[in-house]
């Protein structure tokens, strides 16, 4: 009996042992590879290593966009035990001064994982990273920072929640900016806690390239401020401006007003975020006369001394009447341009063949994109001669039946004044790696020659006359020679030209002798007092130009020959010494202790010092002469406002400054 029991027990042991052997064979041999895969997946995790996005700078290496290395903290509820959850809640409640109930509610409303805090910065990061609690982990969650908020918002653009570029440079150069993500393999225990990082399997991330723009931050600020002032003064749906170097195609400043805060872009509508300088078209009106006139002169259709009958302001052309805002009789071609005569332009247009006119205008880039490296650009509209009516050519000569974008027009003007070469608009100077080495440069790109150099020289003279004696007088500055053309065009509303809504514009350049800047100003639908480009856009151009001249020393060798002989100057005291005045200049540059509501003594300051002080006072001013200041129209110590205007006179003879005022 005992032997039978023993045999039974032995048999059971053998059977159990055989079952174990069979199970081990199944697990190790049959299912070995599969189970090994799942074990490795449970114990090892591949994590992405964030690639730091490249920074954005202006042309002078002023930082316009960078990253803040924030961290977000999570809790995996499948791995966390009740006491782990209680511990985490208490720690986070103390760290972030939030009630326990806040985190308890977050956890109770989640089933898998919960984000306890998003985008944490500061010392809290280091403390929380050290926590070793089941299911608790963190992820890099950087924030893009734009230190100047609204500055150049339509150029820079912004990012989405995935740190991908949505608009502007952030979108166009997204691949260059975002870099290449790395990865690392980490080993975890059964509870999900980190054991170690497998260094041999780690691939480091590669930071994105740093992008250097062509814009000047200071000039960009000036343009934005003056557009805002103009919009407040003249009213309108919006205003925009573009400042370009005509000799390279580089955009020095570009602004749409209203703009938007890049750090809070979602608070603004698509309409505000749209870069209207590239996406919106309009009929340019008289600013387009520069294009047409340059074609007429270049094709030898006319010369500046040819005379045309202005028909006293009304001209019956076929079945329509063409009118001028100023009635003129017999005028020269140069006067046709300076006085902005639609009648004169229409008559000149009849001397050129349709196809020749069309091809010449198209060569300036109209009816095609400029290929600027910004998203959203449209082609505009330039009708083929086969689509023209009997009136299309004459209408085109003074800026109707053509739809242009502001970027197209300012680029074409650059070609008109730079000697006749069309350049591709440029917004990027170079891309550097994280070590500061240039990896890609963007050189000026010449598209084609559109007019001869002699024609360009003649057009500079025409454009200067339009400011000196024509419709652009309110853009005139005594400190430097200005050329430009006004434009006032009716807007199309419901397919008909409105008698209520206009586009007021001015395109100008300076200095005339050697153009360094071309600038377009456009105010859409001005509502206050006047809608003419000469009354609305030209004064904004003047204010921007004044402030740029005060800061750009390269322009100080170019002076206007015009004077104000009838100005009654108040002679300022010479009792302030040059050294004392130099101290005042330095204080203006570096401190805020100078009373900027009080007129300082400018006597004995040179042109550079005086213009810098006047620009920072934000008052209107006029300058005649050269050398050092000897006279000023506002007595030192007088209270001033933004409406004040000071006229100063300079002389190379520093001994004739008056001693009385």
Q: In the numeric block, which tokens belong to residue 410?
A: 């300012």
Quick one: what percent of the chain has pLDDT higher than 70?
A: 85
Q: In the numeric block, which tokens belong to residue 349?
A: 């247009």
Nearest alpha-carbon partner for 642 in 274, 228, 270? 228
pLDDT in tens, 81-99: 888 888 989 999 999 999 9
Residue 335 is inside which H or E element, if any? helix 333-338
Burial class for 612, CB neighbours closer than 10 Å (0-12, 13-18, 19+): middle
Quick one: what percent of the chain has pLDDT higher than 90?
A: 54
pLDDT of residue 44: 65
Arithmetic mean of pLDDT, 180-196: 63
CB 336 within 8 A of CB 306: no
CB 514 within 8 A of CB 448: no
Per-residue DSSP letters for 112-131? SEEEEEEEE-STHHHHHHT-
pLDDT surpasses 50 at 170: yes
pLDDT in tens, 448-462: 999 999 999 999 999
pLDDT surpasses 60 at 498: yes
What domains are defined for the chain? Answer: 217-555 (3.40.710.10), 578-651 (3.30.10.20)
pLDDT of residue 40: 54
Nearest alpha-carbon partner for 543 in 243, 309, 267? 243
**Which distant-in-sequence residues (6+ apart) come within 8 Å of 590 by Cβ?**
none
pLDDT of residue 511: 95
Q: How many helices (H) and strands (E) does the chain have?
A: 21, 28
Three-state secondary structure string covering 360-420? HHHHCCCCCCCCCCCCCCCCCEECCHHHCCCCHHHHHHCCCCEEECHHHHHHHHHHHHCCC
- Give the span between the Cα atoms of 63 and 288, in whole angstroms: 37
Average pLDDT, the chain: 85
Give the pLDDT band of residue 201 (cuts 50, 70, 90): low
- Give the span between the Cα atoms of 257 and 252, in whole angstroms: 17
Order across the sheet with 44-49: list the strands: 44-49, 182-188, 194-203
Arithmetic mean of pLDDT, 321-341: 91
Give the pLDDT band of residue 533 (cuts 50, 70, 90): very high
Give the pLDDT band of residue 626 (cuts 50, 70, 90): low
pLDDT surpasses 60 at 561: no
Arithmetic mean of pLDDT, 375-400: 95
- Give the span between the Cα atoms of 398 and 339, in whole angstroms: 12
More confident call, 36 vs 545: 545
pLDDT of residue 33: 60
**Which distant-in-sequence residues (6+ apart) come within 8 Å of 534 by Cβ?**
471, 472, 473, 474, 475, 486, 488, 506
CB 434 within 8 A of CB 180: no
Spell 462-491 as b/e; 16+ CB within 10 A means b. bbbbbbbebbbebbbbbbbbbbbbbbbbbb
Nearest alpha-carbon partner for 236 in 643, 519, 493, 537? 537
Three-state SS at 176: helix
Length of the chain: 661
* CB hemisphere CA count around 369 (13 angstroms): 10
Three-state SS at 497: strand
């Amino acid at each position: 009996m005992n032997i039978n029991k023993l045999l039974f027990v032995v048999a059971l042991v053998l059977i159990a042992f055989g079952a174990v052997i069979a199970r081990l064979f199944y697990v190790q041999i049959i299912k070995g590879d599969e189970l090994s895969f799942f074990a490795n997946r449970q114990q090892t995790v591949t994590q992405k290593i964030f690639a730091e996005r490249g920074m954005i700078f202006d042309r002078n290496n002023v930082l316009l966009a960078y990253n803040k290395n924030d961290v977000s903290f999570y809790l995996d509820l499948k791995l966390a035990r009740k006491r782990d959850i209680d511990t985490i809640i208490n720690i986070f409640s103390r760290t972030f001064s939030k009630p326990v109930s806040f985190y308890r509610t977050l956890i109770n409303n989640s089933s898998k994982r919960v984000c306890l805090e998003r985008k944490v910065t500061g010392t809290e990061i280091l403390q929380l990273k050290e926590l070793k609690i089941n299911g608790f982990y963190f992820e890099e969650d950087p924030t893009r920072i734009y230190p100047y908020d609204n500055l150049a918002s339509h150029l820079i653009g912004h990012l989405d929640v995935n740190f991908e570029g949505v608009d502007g440079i952030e979108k166009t150069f997204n691949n260059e900016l975002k870099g290449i993500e790395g990865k690392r393999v980490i080993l975890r225990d059964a509870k999900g806690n980190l054991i170690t990082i497998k260094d041999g399997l780690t691939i480091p991330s590669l930071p994105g390239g740093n992008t250097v723009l062509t814009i000047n931050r200071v000039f960009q600020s000036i343009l934005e401020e003056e557009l805002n002032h103009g919009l407040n003064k003249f009213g309108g749906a919006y205003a925009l401006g573009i400042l370009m170097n005509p000799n390279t195609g580089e955009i020095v400043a570009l602004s749409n007003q209203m703009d938007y805060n890049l750090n809070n872009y979602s608070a603004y509508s698509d309409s505000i975020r749209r870069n209207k300088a590239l996406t919106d078209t309009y009929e340019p009106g008289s600013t387009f006369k520069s294009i047409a006139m340059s074609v007429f002169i270049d094709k030898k259709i006319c010369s500046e001394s040819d005379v045309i009958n202005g028909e006293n302001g009304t001209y019956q052309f076929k079945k329509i009447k063409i009118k001028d805002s100023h009635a003129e009789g017999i005028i020269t071609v140069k006067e046709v341009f300076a006085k902005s005569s639609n009648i004169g332009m229409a008559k000149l247009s009849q001397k050129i063949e349709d196809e020749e006119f069309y091809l010449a205008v198209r060569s300036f880039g109209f009816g095609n994109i400029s290929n600027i490296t910004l998203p959203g650009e449209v082609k505009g509209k330039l009708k083929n001669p086969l689509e023209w009516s009997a009136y299309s050519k004459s209408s085109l000569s003074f800026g109707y039946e053509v739809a242009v974008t502001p970027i197209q027009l300012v680029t074409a003007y650059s070609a008109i004044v730079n000697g006749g070469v069309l350049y591709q608009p440029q917004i990027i100077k170079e891309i550097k790696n994280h070590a500061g080495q240039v990896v890609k440069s963007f050189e000026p790109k010449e598209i084609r020659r559109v007019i001869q150099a002699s024609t360009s020289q003649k057009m500079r003279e025409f454009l200067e006359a339009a400011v000196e004696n024509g419709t652009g007088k309110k853009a005139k500055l005594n400190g430097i020679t200005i050329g430009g053309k006004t434009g006032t065009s009716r807007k199309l509303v419901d397919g008909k030209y409105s008698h209520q809504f206009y586009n007021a514009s001015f395109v100008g350049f300076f200095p005339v002798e050697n153009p360094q800047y071309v600038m377009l100003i456009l105010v859409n639908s001005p509502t206050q007092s006047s809608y003419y480009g000469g009354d609305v856009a030209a004064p904004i151009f003047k204010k921007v130009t004044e402030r740029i001249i005060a800061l750009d020393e390269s322009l100080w060798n170019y002076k206007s020959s015009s004077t104000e002989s009838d100005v009654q100057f108040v002679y300022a005291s010479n009792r302030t010494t040059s050294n004392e005045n130099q101290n005042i200049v330095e204080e203006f540059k570096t401190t805020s202790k100078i009373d900027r509501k009080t007129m300082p003594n400018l006597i004995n300051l040179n042109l550079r010092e005086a213009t810098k002080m006047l620009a920072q006072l934000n008052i209107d001013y006029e300058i005649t002469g050269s050398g050092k200041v000897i006279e000023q129209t506002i007595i030192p110590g007088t209270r001033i406002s933004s409406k004040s205007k000071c006229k100063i006179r300079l002389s190379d003879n520093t001994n004739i400054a008056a001693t009385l005022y």
